[in-house]
Amino acid sequence: MSPMARFSPVPAATDPAIIRNFCIIAHIDHGKSTLADRMLQSTGVVEHRNMKAQYLDRMDIERERGITIKSQAVRMPWELDGASYALNMIDTPGHVDFTYEVSRSLAACEGAVLLVDAAQGIEAQTLANLYLAMENDLTIIPVLNKIDLPAAQPEKYAEELANLIGGDPADVLKVSGKTGVGVEDLLDKIVRDIPAPVGDPDAPARAMIFDSVYDTYRGVVTYVRVVDGKLSPRERIQMMSTRASHELLEIGVSSPEPTPSKGLGVGEVGYLITGVKDVRLSKVGDTVTNLAKPAAESLPGYADAKPMVFSGLYPIDGADYPVLRDALEKLMLNDAALVYEPETSAALGFGFRVGFLGLLHLEITRERLEREYNLDLISTAPNVEYEVTLEDKKVVTVTNPSEYPTGKIAEVREPMVAATILAPSEFVGAIMELCQTRRGVLGGMDYLSEDRVEIRYRLPLAEIVFDFFDVLKSKTRGYASLDWKADGEQVADLVKVDILLQGEQVDAFSSITHKDKAYAYGVMMTGKLRELIPRQQFEVPIQAAIGSRIIARESIRAIRKDVLAKCYGGDISRKRKLLEKQKEGKKRMKMVGRVEVPQEAFVAALSSDESKDKAKK
């Protein structure tokens, strides 16, 4: 049968027996978005000529970076053996920073397509996502992708997959999202293997919120999966956690453009709009019910996402502070994982301390602030959250090195992670060496096949969150993959290193590091600043110190800068111009004590190139 013959319009509010809710889970770059796009095409939801590459990734940054951040749900019609079905595909992000978004999407599905690149095999996030899917009791359909690649080894990796989840290697589907080979078979298999949703159509309505997105024109758009009962337009709904009630202005499905419907019944996935402007009023994990006939019990929710990495964000131009505040408020409407509070820095002025899920989340947030709100920002060196117990037993949580207590400290605890690394076995030595230098403790090791090994380490988050992944990649010629999750905390020998300019502490440059690494940080930072700060009219010592102990020192020699030296004629207007220009330049200087530091020096000293490289991966 030609694919055209299988198109049919989106069915209206639906008998649960014909619904299949699924998501695609994969390691980053294994081709999830490409396959999703191909499915949209094969089911006729998006016509070929309207196809923008990666339809589901709506944000520009996502498209540019080729990564998926926010989950979206799309409904697709499909016919099998003469019967019509409605497939709801829920897109999930693949990057380790966004695991919490994956688990939300999984809870809305009955099945998952486990997609593996046929030239790469199983990777760390394949495993992490598979375990999440198994915890949610989803039916798993193993699929090898990119079989069009000359380097593909479908037989070998089908065996690896079958070993991992059980079953026959011959049952592993082989597809190419790029050419479309096997995609229709996959759609058939989704209909056959994934169970239809079950729920009580006559019970009071219960729908689970798995995503909430702020849209400039429509306000908050909430994505729900109906478990019991039915939601209809114009009725009043209630959010079970807050008891807030709203009128349902619109309810519908994305296919892929939002299409209003007469209601959503058992097992259906769609969106609703109530006119609220704040995503926090439509909290992910909350249960929506009917105000007139409310459900007695809410559905199990999700744990809130916990920020892992903190950084100070400051506008380069202090006058932009209110713009930054409003922009953060708007971003938070759309990103429940983002947390922030105002802070001030002697060096950088007014700004915010912002909590992120990881470095990629930080980079994306910063890029959105700069691009969508036209802001120029400085972000301070990212750090993790420490717990400090003082000798008087008081416990202080430190998310900013400048808050590090000065009193007598009994112990400092740092967050730990359980990391899983997958790599060809020839790299085991190099990986273990790297993990040891990062204060890791080996947890175990398993061979997935003869030449591929899974290595588990417990590591301090602070040691892996910045450049670990880049170093790992370079030590394994790009073959290793990494996944990690939070794993408690440990007591560690940590110190705060301060940077002093002419004896004045510059708060933005303070850092909390392990004692053994403090010296290296001091040398690096003082060296960087010596390069970046222009000479002044007096000598400027730059020092790194732990408490009152100096551990590194550089100095900038004195110079007298005479801007008029070049104008020996008597042209007074030219002289005035030069003096004006110098005044302009001064505005962009920050005074640290008596030392003038150009804004750019802060930006350059604080910019970490590693993090940018990492975000691109």
Ligand X SMILES: Nc1nc2c(ncn2[C@@H]2O[C@H](COP(=O)(O)OP(=O)(O)OP(=O)(O)O)[C@@H](O)[C@H]2O)c(=O)[nH]1
Return binding residues for GTP: 29-34, 145-148
* Contacting range for ligand X; rule: CB under 6 A; set: 13-21, 26-34, 524-532, 537-545: 26-34
User: What's the min distance (Å) between Cβ of 77 and ligand X?
Assistant: 23
Q: State which H helix or E strand residue 433 sits in.
A: helix 428-437
Among 10, 19, 23, 28, binds ligand X (CB under 6 A): 28
68 binds ligand X (CB under 6 A): yes
Residues 539-578 that bind ligand X (CB under 6 A): none
* SS (HEC) of 20-53: EEEEEEECCCCCHHHHHHHHHHHCCCCCHHHCCC
Interacting span for ligand X (CB under 6 A) from 176-184, 238-246, 401-409, 469-477 = 176-184
Is the sign of the CA dihedral 608, 611, 615, 617 positive or negative? Answer: positive
User: What is the DSSP secondary structure assignment for residue 534, as one 8-state letter?
Assistant: P
How many residues are there in the chain? Answer: 617
178 binds ligand X (CB under 6 A): yes
For ligand X, what does the binding mask look like between residues 87 and 106, x meaning CB under 6 A? -------x------------
User: Cβ 451 to ligand X, closest distance in Å?
Assistant: 23
- 530 sits near ligand X (criterion: CB under 6 A): no
Region binding ligand X by CB under 6 A among candidate stretches 60-68, 339-347, 477-485, 544-552: 60-68
| 29 lies in the site for ligand X, by CB under 6 A | yes
Q: Return the structure tokens found at 145.
A: 């992708």
Query: Based on CB atoms, which residue is closest to ligand X, 177 or 256?
Result: 177
Q: Which residue is nearest to ligand X (CB)?
A: 94
d(C-alpha 87, C-alpha 95), whole Å: 25
* 261 is an interface residue for ligand X by CB under 6 A: no
Q: According to CB under 6 A, which one of 19, 26, 191, 461 is a site residue for ligand X?
A: 26
Residue 411 C-beta: closest distance to ligand X, Å: 40
Whole-number CA gyration radius for the chain = 28
Cα–Cα distance for residue pair 51/46, rounded to 1 Å: 6
Q: Within 10 A of 603 (CB to CB), how many other CB atoms are there?
A: 16
Distance of alpha carbon 413 from alpha carbon 389, whole angstroms: 8
Is 120 a binding residue for ligand X by CB under 6 A? The answer is: no
At 94, list the tokens. Answer: 């693949």
Instruction: Please pick, from the candidates 31, 263, 401, 522, the single residue that binds ligand X as defined by CB under 6 A.
Output: 31
> Any bridge partners for residue 314, and if so which?
378
CB of 148 to ligand X, least distance (A): 5
Quick check: 235 binds ligand X (CB under 6 A)? no
Residue pair 362/611 in contact (Cβ under 8 Å)? The answer is yes
The smaller minimum CB distance to ligand X, of residues 31 and 307, is found at: 31
Name the residue nearer to ligand X (CB basis): 3 or 593. 3
Q: How far apart are CA 268 and CA 307, in angstroms?
A: 32
What's the distance, CA 232 to chain centroid? 34
Query: Smallest gap, in angstroms, from Cβ of residue 102 to ligand X?
Result: 10
Which residue from 14, 99, 145, 290 is in contact with ligand X, where contact means CB under 6 A?
Answer: 145
33 near ligand X, judged by CB under 6 A: yes
Segment contacting ligand X (CB under 6 A): 131-139, 175-183, 464-472, 473-481?
Answer: 175-183
Select 30 or 614, whichever has its Cβ closest to ligand X: 30
Biggest distance spanned by C-alpha atoms of the chain: 94
Nearer to ligand X, 177 or 219 (CB): 177
Least distance CB 118 / ligand X (angstroms): 8
Alpha-carbon gap, residue 492 to 132, rounded angstroms: 31
CB-CB contact of 530 with 555 (8 Å): yes
Residues 398-457 that bind ligand X (CB under 6 A): none
Tell me the window of 129-137, 146-154, 303-311, 563-571 that interacts with ligand X (CB under 6 A): 146-154
Q: How far apart are CA 389 and CA 155, in angstroms?
A: 55
CA distance 35 to 185: 13
Stretch that binds ligand X, among 24-32, 346-354, 484-492, 598-606 (CB under 6 A): 24-32
- How many residues make contact with ligand X (CB under 6 A)? 19
Euclidean distance between CA atoms 389 and 385, whole angstroms: 13
Applying CB under 6 A, among 154, 177, 229, 522 the residue interacting with ligand X is 177
| Angstrom distance (rounded) from CA 594 to CA 539 | 11
Alpha-helical regions (H) of 43-120: 60-65, 99-107
* Beta-bridge partner residues of 139: 111
Interface residues toward ligand X, by CB under 6 A: 26, 28-34, 66-68, 94, 145-146, 148-149, 176-178
